[in-house]
Structures are given as structure tokens and as C-alpha cells.
Amino acid sequence: METGVQAVANKAEMQGIAEGWRRAGHSVGLVPTMGSLHEGHLSLVRRARAQCERVAVSVFVNPLQFGPAEDFDAYPRDEERDLMLLRKEGVDVAYLPAVGEMYPPGATTRVRVHSLDEKLEGAHRPGHFEGVATIVTKLFNAARPNRAYFGQKDAQQVALIARMTRDLDMDVEVVVLPTVRDPDGVALSSRNAYLTEDERRAARSLVGALRVANEAFGEGERDATRLRRRMVDVLAAEPLVRPDYVEVVDPATFDSPGTLAVLAARVGRTRLIDNHPLGQPL
């Protein structure tokens, strides 16, 4: 089904549209993205389209969640292609605010999910989750969704947003969909575009490590240290890969022990993350 998608750059306009939807009794789904859409994003869009009468997709590369040495400037952007894909999916509104619309001078308000935002990804990317929590709060306030859709790929982000939504009494159901992978198992990520051919091959070791842990778990292994050791060994065998962290954690608190295997690694100059809920098919 190909229909028009309304591109909205202004938050007041987005709020007006959302308020109209709610008044008309329509359920609203929001899919927050940083654009550069791939099948992972589109799986979220399709679920939103199936579950909600109105669907908004935000496309905003959020400077607040990038560190000073990170890839904000280089992050892939292709608004025209994104809009074409959203049109094909029958999305009602694409919300594409400019940075100045989101963060005007003097905007000093920030949302933090303490403790959870300091672990693993938070420890390696200081300020990242404050940026995530702040922008998601703003997107929720602009689009007023009944349901918001996120990928399990960003497991800690998902835990953080679920916690924030509950803590701040946001009346939004957080829907989490499984990671979408390429045929070689590599998790879809906009950052995969940075990889050379050799690095791409090396990147398979991330899902390889998760598979090894998942198999061990399937055979009854429950010791987090031994599960972790197995994953570390897989990554260590790949010279182009330098792990940031490898852990088995509780999926809500990100404390060990737990049943969620999570890892982050540099592959060449590109930083990738992946995870798997142990015991589920991979």
C-alpha cells in the first residue's frame, strides 16, 4: 500500500496532529529512529502499522546521545530514501525536526535514569543515555503515542526507556521487537555501512560469540563467568575485533548475573553492539 506520508519538522505541528488523532479516538504508534532506515526499523514500522490506527516515525540524529569523539557528523543520513521507505510502509507522519528545533539555545533540561545509565554502554559512552532519555521524552511529548516501538538490538536502551516510562508515569506501552539479522547473522545496524569487507567478515564473530554462549546455555551452563569466558574466547580469535565489554546480565537492571548476553566491540574503527536473550533460538 503506497500512500502519502506527511513530513513534519515542527514540534507544535506534530503535537497538533497527535492531539487530533487522540481526540478522534485513534490509537497512535511511534517509531523513534535516527534514520538511515534498514529492515530492523521497518520491522518496527510494520508492527506499529498493524497495531495502531495512526503511525508516526521520527527521524532525528540526536547530537545529545553522541560523545565528542563519536560519529555524529559521519552518521549516515539519507532523508529522501527514508521518506520513500516510510511512504511504502503507509506511515502517516514522518517527524523530522532540525537540531535547532529540538535544542534551542538555553535548553538545559535533561532526563536521567540513574544507575542503569552508568552501566556497560553507559560506562563506555558517558552521557549517551541521558541523551537518549531526554530525546525520547521529547518525542513522546510531541507525538503522544499509545505505543512506542524499539528494537531489542539496543537492549540497554530498551531497559532504560521501559524504566523511564514507568518511573515518570508516561502513559506509553513500550513494544520491543527482536533484532533483525543479515543472512550471515550480523545484526542490522546503520553503522555496518562503515565496515570494510574484512571488517564485515570479522563482525560475524559478535553473533558467533552469542551463538556459542546460547549453545552452552542450551546444554545447561548457567555460570555467568564461564558463559562470558566462552564469548570472550570467540572474540579474541578475531584480530580485527577489540571488545569493550562482554557480560551476561539481568535484562531489566543490567546487573550480573542474568540471562541476557550483551557485548560491544570495535571492529576496525567502528563500534558495534549485539545481544541475545539466552535460551531463545539464534
112 part of the interface to a copy of itself, by CB under 8 A: yes
Positive or negative, the CA dihedral 243, 197, 62, 146 is negative
41 is catalytic: yes
109 part of the interface to a copy of itself, by CB under 8 A: yes
- In the chain, the amino acid numbered 44 is L
Q: Does residue 143 contact residue 136 with C-beta atoms inside 8 Å?
A: no
Positive or negative, the CA dihedral 72, 76, 81, 86 is negative
Phi, psi of 131 (to 5 degrees): -65, -40
193 HSE (CA, 13 A, CB side):
12
189 HSE (CA, 13 A, CB side):
22
Q: Does residue 96 contact residue 77 with C-beta atoms inside 8 Å?
A: no
Q: Which of 74, 84, 98, 107 is the binder for a copy of itself (CB under 8 A)?
A: 107
CB of 15 to a copy of itself, least distance (A): 5
171 part of the interface to a copy of itself, by CB under 8 A: yes
138 part of the interface to a copy of itself, by CB under 8 A: yes
Q: Which of 1, 2, 100, 114 is the binder for a copy of itself (CB under 8 A)?
A: 114
Q: Which of 141, 198, 223, 242 is the binder for a copy of itself (CB under 8 A)?
A: 141
Binding mask 173-212 for a copy of itself (x = CB under 8 A): ----------------------------------------
CB of 170 to a copy of itself, least distance (A): 5
Q: Could you tell me which of 155, 94, 84, 144 has the C-alpha nearest to residue 119?
A: 155
94 part of the interface to a copy of itself, by CB under 8 A: no
142 part of the interface to a copy of itself, by CB under 8 A: yes
219 part of the interface to a copy of itself, by CB under 8 A: no
Q: Does residue 115 contact residue 77 with C-beta atoms inside 8 Å?
A: no
Parallel, antiparallel or unpaired: strands 93-95 and 54-59:
parallel
Which residue out of 38, 41, 114, 124 is catalytically annotated?
41
Distance CA 142, CA 89 (A): 22
With contacts defined by CB under 8 A, name the span among 134-142, 189-197, 213-221, 259-267 that binds a copy of itself: 134-142
| Interface positions with a copy of itself (CB under 8 A) | 11, 15, 19, 22-23, 25, 106-116, 133-134, 137-138, 141-142, 144, 163-164, 166-171, 253
Active site residues: 41
